[in-house]
Amino acid sequence: MATAVQTAERQTYLNNGYSLKSWLLTKDHKRIAILYLISITGMFFVGGFFAMLIRLELLTPAGDLVSSDTYNKLFSMHGIAMVFFFLIPSVPAVLGNFVIPLMVGAKDLAFPRINLLSWYLYMFGALFALVSMISGGVDTGWTFYTPFSTTYSNTHVVGTALGVFIAGFSSIFTGLNFIVTIHRMRAPGLTWTRLPLFCWSNYAASIIMVLGTPVIAITILLVALERLLHIGVFNPALGGDPLLFQHLFWFYSHPAVYIMILPGMGVISEVVTCFSRKRVFGYEFVALASIAIAVLGFLVWAHHMFVAGISVYAALVFSLLSYLVAIPSAVKVFNWTATLFKGSIRYDTPMLYAFGFIGLFTIGGLTGVFLASLGVDVHVTDTYFVVAHFHYVMVGGMVLAYLAGLHFWWPKMTGKLYPEGWAKLSALLVFVGFNLTFFPQFILGYMGMPRRYHAYPPEFQVLNVLSTAGASVLAVGYVLPMIYFMWSLRYGEDAGPNPWNAVGLEWMTPSPPPTHNFDETPVVTWEAYDYEHPPQEVLVGH
Amino acid sequence: MAAQVDGLYFFLVAVSAFFTLLIFLTVFIFAVKYRQEAHPNPEHIEGSLPLELTWTLIPLGICMIFFAWGALIYFQEARPPRGSMEVYAVAKQWMWKFEHESGQREINALHIPVGRDIKMIMSSQDVIHSFYVPAFRIKADVLPGRYTSTWFHPTKTGTYHLFCAEYCGTQHSGMIGEVVVMTPAAYQSWLASGGATPTMAANGKELFTQLGCATCHRADTQGRGPTLAGVFGKPVQLEDGRTVMADENYIRESILNPQAKIVAGFKPIMPTFQGQVTEESLGALVSYVKSLSQPQQKAEGGAPQPIAANESN
Amino acid sequence: MDQQRETSTFGMWLFLLTEIMFFGGLFCAYLVYRATYYQAFVEGSQAMNIWLGATNTAVLICSSLTMALGVRCAQTDNRKLMVVLLIATMLFGLAFLGIKAIEYHEHWTNHQFPGPNFSFPQAEAAGVNPQNVQIYFSLYWAMTGLHALHMVIGVGLVLWITIAAARGMYSADYYAPVENVGLYWHFVDLVWIYLFPLLYLISKKHGG
């Protein structure tokens, strides 16, 4: 393996200024991606800390570790930190920010200053949320249902709501930036049908970010106003309608889960093609499936409300549509599997995470089909079945995809390779730990254990203990990458521009890239994932 | 009903297990068979339209089966049979208060006879709760400000968990009760054991007079308000041209927010009773108005109700 | 430069799309409650000053005219007229805010602000529940308040480009900021065009 000689003179985005100011006032999408990486990792461990306390409490049926109020705050803050401050920004703001301009052959995103603003808004929102958490917490659940959140809760609802509100604008601006960049800043020759699927996925997710986030922004603002001024928009005691809150809330929060998973799916497309050394099977179908998920995702929100008091006819419509949105996801899974057929498969760490993703997302998605079924949903909604379902798609799916992407693009971002042995071990620990944590929860839910329960009847204990055991394994699997990634920065082998021999514009520039990305604007003459006739420059560095 | 839910559930499990195993095995086999060492030259396959169509349409078809089956169950769950025994439930932080039409009240326990259709008519005093009996496979949110309902038909005697399934604050996980399903004989003796209590309808009648309702809502048609005999369960023409069904929620709203729906031909002069009636009183009044639509009302026989109290939103 | 202009304008259109969704949530709540409590909404609407509202509508329409003409001036390198028109736009905007302030003051002193001090004595005579009228007012204050906030931001943006224009920063080759601020301004104007009939002109005849 050739090691590119890194002379002190080669300018990269990392050594282009070392001052704090050069980082905090940067307009470079790559530096902003690193800033996001640090912040969302921090919020991930905040959310993880709360998760740890939850699982410890649930070892025993009695509520004996923390008080009920504290427990309620724990699951609320776990959800808020993870959903709004980790899952939604993770792949787009870290990997998307870093890679998309490179993938389209541009110098930067369309609006670099808005990109920086986006990060500051995220930090500002996170600050509000963290301050609320530290000064007493919030106990409404991440779903803020009224009238509990507007009238009955005695915790820092307004502070947290404002944090989420501000962070929402971070998401909107990121999405806006991506859409304009992908439309307008593609290199010559890079037609839509030559775009890497990572771009298609982020584009679809960005549509959702842009259209959906404002709705939760206004909804959460109304909750804050209602709490402060005692107006009665959602409070039945004052003539308001608590179901209106639910409709408005879920109108965003359901598409939000597609904001989370679509970019992750984009990562999987990149990884599966690279480590099978062939083009993705059915490229157009995978691309269109992303758009279909984005569009259909807006039409299914009330499947969170089947027992909430909506009319039977509304429920029927939303159930039907929910099945429709499952189909494009299934199509993608089939296409990735077919991509493996007659490929030449390598077992590098990103690929192991991709395998894990395909399996776990399948289970998560299929259990979504359970929930779309009205008769079954009545029994299992608001139980641990739902908790298991969404952790399968969000952790087994999304987090695994994020880790896959991190491991895939780490050499590009840092110019360093991580220790492969430790990385594979972590992937295994994550996979095993994850399944042990969450599979028992499907059974718990079917048996009837409701969610958000501090104490539970003793017959549920065995499964809860299994779940907590799994969580401890999972935690190790999460901490190890922190350690070896940090280690790699100092002691890792130099990566070279294309350690994976992948096809894609981002691999045709040095690792780490210079601030301006490409010395000359590339001209694209090849199809996406053209492993059959890879462009000559790809072979550099290996 | 529970058996039907289980039937669909395990069918879903079977189909899911099949597809999961299919994907897992396929991925595993491909990953091993085509690993780099064994298969160094990949074959560049673009795609296959027939395959794409197949694996789009077959899952779609299977999903439609799931949909139809689930919808059928849901439809039945939304239509309590005529002659169901009605029990009123008021949820509050953090307990369940039940009242049988025959007047018995219980807290956190619900005694019912086996083999009967039981319809719950529920409302909350504060936040949203949810009435969940896993053994019966039913669940329905309990809302402040309006009635929601669910029904079930217990087939085995025994004691079953009742959980609150919508997060409602500090003691959410403590809002647990039990549903005690008894033989008809045991149920009768349980009813009798509490001592004679006035039926809900009787309570309602008393309130009706006490609160002055009888002044305007007279038995004849001379009152300033519409007569309530025979109103429940039938459509009502409103002043603004709409027609609504006079169900439990209509009665409730008419008491708490009378200006929302004015009956055609009447003036909007009814005062609101919000703040003057508790959830229990409302239940009694609703029960009384219902009884005015029965040829002979018996406290416990249960009034036939033509519509589900689950109104739309 | 053309590509940059098109790009930034595309970005502004996208942003306006998010603004539509942002206001959309309030419009949705409005539609639901108007349908449920129509008579109460009629009574609330009666408390609005139609003349001030209509004047404000005319003011905003004029401001959009001056704004559009200002953009035209930028395209045709007519700097002096552009600055004049932009200043006129700002003045119209400030006039709108001033009239709004007068209306708000009147509603405030009449206890028509939702909360513990809300009172609407006309409700009883009209046969509506004052609580439902309070919902009307909650939406009135939220929607017009959010709109007014956007107006303030708009005036700020117009001030910024007026100063830049006076300094000669725009020309027929580069006027994207003017165009984009213009788009924003028209959008805020358009929101008011919806708000005015919905809040001020609810007809007494039931229509639902």
Reading chain B (313 residues) residue by residue, the pLDDT tens digits are 888 999 999 999 999 999 999 999 999 999 999 999 999 999 988 899 999 999 999 999 999 999 999 999 999 999 999 889 999 999 999 999 999 988 999 999 999 999 999 999 999 999 999 999 999 999 999 999 999 999 999 999 999 999 999 999 999 999 999 999 999 999 999 988 877 789 999 999 999 999 999 999 988 878 889 999 999 999 999 988 889 999 999 999 999 989 889 999 998 889 889 889 999 999 999 999 999 988 654 444 444 444 444 433 3
Q: Is B21 on the interface with A (CB under 8 A)?
A: no
Beta strands (DSSP E) in chain C are: none
- The pLDDT score that the predictor gives to residue C6 is 83
Taking the CA of residue C127 and the nearest CA in chain B, the distance in Å comes to: 5
Residue type, B226: P
Omega within 30 of 0 (cis) for the link into A512: yes
Q: What is the DSSP letter of B262?
A: P
Q: Which residue in this structure is represented by tokens 């010559």?
A: A188
Residues from chain B that touch A153, judged by Cβ atoms under 8 A, are 169
Distance in angstroms (rounded) separating the CA atoms of residues A536 and C128:
78
Question: Can you give the residue ranges of every domain in chain A?
Answer: 20-539
Residues from chain B that touch A139, judged by Cβ atoms under 8 A, are 169
SS3 sequence of A72-116? HHHHHHHHHHHHHHHHCCHHHHHHHHHHHHHHHCCCCCCCHHHHH
Taking the CA of residue A86 and the nearest CA in chain C, the distance in Å comes to: 22
Residue type, A304: H
Distance in angstroms (rounded) separating the CA atoms of residues C189 and A186:
35
- CATH class of segment(s) A20-539: mainly alpha
- The pLDDT score that the predictor gives to residue B296 is 54
The CATH number of domain C2-200, selected from 2.40.160.10, 3.10.510.20, 1.20.1250.20, 1.20.120.80: 1.20.120.80
Q: Which residue in this structure is represented by tokens 């059915």?
A: A282
Contacting subunits of B (3+ beta carbon pairs below 8 A):
A, C
Give the tokens for residue A96: 């998307």
Tell me if residue B195 falls in helix, strand or coil.
Answer: coil
Taking the CA of residue A292 and the nearest CA in chain B, the distance in Å comes to: 13
- The pLDDT score that the predictor gives to residue B259 is 86
* Nearest Cα residue in chain C from B242: C208
Q: Which of B251, B238, B254 is closest to B307 using CA atoms?
A: B251
Spatial CB neighbours of C37, under 8 Å, sequence gap ≥ 6: A239, B260, C128, C129, C132, C135, C136
CB contact under 8 A, C21 and A241: no
Q: Is A5 on the interface with B (CB under 8 A)?
A: no
Residues from chain A that touch B143, judged by Cβ atoms under 8 A, are 236, 242-243, 308-309
- The pLDDT score that the predictor gives to residue A168 is 96
- The pLDDT score that the predictor gives to residue A17 is 87
- The pLDDT score that the predictor gives to residue B301 is 42
SS3 sequence of A353-385? HHHHHHHHHHHHHHHHHHHHCHHHHHHHCCEHH
The answer to whether C76 and C170 are in contact (CB under 8 A) is: no
- The pLDDT score that the predictor gives to residue B309 is 41
CA of residue C57 relative to chain centroid, distance: 9
Taking the CA of residue A317 and the nearest CA in chain C, the distance in Å comes to: 20
Assign C65 a pLDDT band (cuts: 50, 70, 90).
very high
* Nearest Cα residue in chain A from B253: A239
The answer to whether A265 and A331 are in contact (CB under 8 A) is: no
- The pLDDT score that the predictor gives to residue B147 is 95
The answer to whether A106 and A187 are in contact (CB under 8 A) is: yes
- The pLDDT score that the predictor gives to residue C156 is 97
CB contact under 8 A, A214 and C26: no
CB contact under 8 A, B47 and A355: no
Residues from chain C that touch B242, judged by Cβ atoms under 8 A, are 208
Question: Can you give the residue ranges of every domain in chain C?
Answer: 2-200
- The pLDDT score that the predictor gives to residue A2 is 45
Angle at A320 between CA A332 and CA A303, to 5 degrees: 90
Distance in angstroms (rounded) separating the CA atoms of residues C165 and B16:
65
Q: Which of C54, C70, C47, C7 is closest to C140 using CA atoms?
A: C47
Of C15, C28, C142, the CB nearest to A225: C142
- Listed as ranges, residues in chain A with pLDDT below 70 are 1-9, 536-542
Distance in angstroms (rounded) separating the CA atoms of residues A246 and A223:
12
Q: Which of B18, B7, B98, B161 is closest to A383 using CA atoms?
A: B161
Q: Which of A134, A143, A162 is closest to A227 using CA atoms?
A: A162
- List phi, psi (to 5°) of B133: -120, 100
Residues from chain B that touch A451, judged by Cβ atoms under 8 A, are 165, 167
CB contact under 8 A, A236 and B145: yes
Taking the CA of residue C6 and the nearest CA in chain B, the distance in Å comes to: 36
Interface of B with A in 114-133 (CB under 8 A): 126-128, 130, 132
Domains and CATH numbers, chain B: 2-77 (no CATH), 85-193 (2.60.40.420), 200-291 (1.10.760.10)
Helix ranges, A347-500 (H): 349-372, 374-380, 384-391, 400-414, 420-447, 461-491
Give the tokens for residue B247: 């169900």
Q: What is the DSSP letter of B143?
A: -
Q: Is B36 on the interface with A (CB under 8 A)?
A: yes
DSSP per-residue codes, C39-65 = HHHHHHHHTS-HHHHHHHHHHHHHHHH
* Nearest Cα residue in chain C from A228: C115
pLDDT tens digits, one per residue of A491-512: 999 999 999 999 999 999 998 9
CB contact under 8 A, A323 and B66: yes
Q: Which residue in this structure is represented by tokens 């304009």?
A: A180
CB contact under 8 A, C37 and B260: yes
Q: Which residue in this structure is represented by tokens 């959602």?
A: A234
Q: What is the DSSP letter of A450?
A: B
C-alpha dist (Å) from residue A318 to A305, C81, C174: 10, 55, 49
Strand partners, B245: B235
CB contact under 8 A, B168 and A148: yes
C41-48 average pLDDT score: 94
CB contact under 8 A, C25 and A222: yes
- The pLDDT score that the predictor gives to residue B163 is 97
Taking the CA of residue B239 and the nearest CA in chain C, the distance in Å comes to: 10
Q: Is A330 on the interface with B (CB under 8 A)?
A: yes
Tell me if residue B82 falls in helix, strand or coil.
Answer: coil
CB contact under 8 A, C40 and B259: yes
How much is the ipTM here?
A: 0.91
Return the number of CB contacts < 8 Å for A and B. Answer: 274
Crossing angle (nearest 10°) for helices A349-372 and A420-447: 10
Give the tokens for residue C42: 């009629």
Side-chain-facing half-sphere of A338: CA atoms under 13 Å: 22
By CB atoms closer than 10 A (0-12, 13-18, 19+), residue B209 is exposed
SS3 content of chain C, % helix, strand, coil (to 5): 80, 0, 20
Distance in angstroms (rounded) separating the CA atoms of residues A331 and A281:
11
The answer to whether B131 and B150 are in contact (CB under 8 A) is: yes
Distance in angstroms (rounded) separating the CA atoms of residues A172 and C16:
11
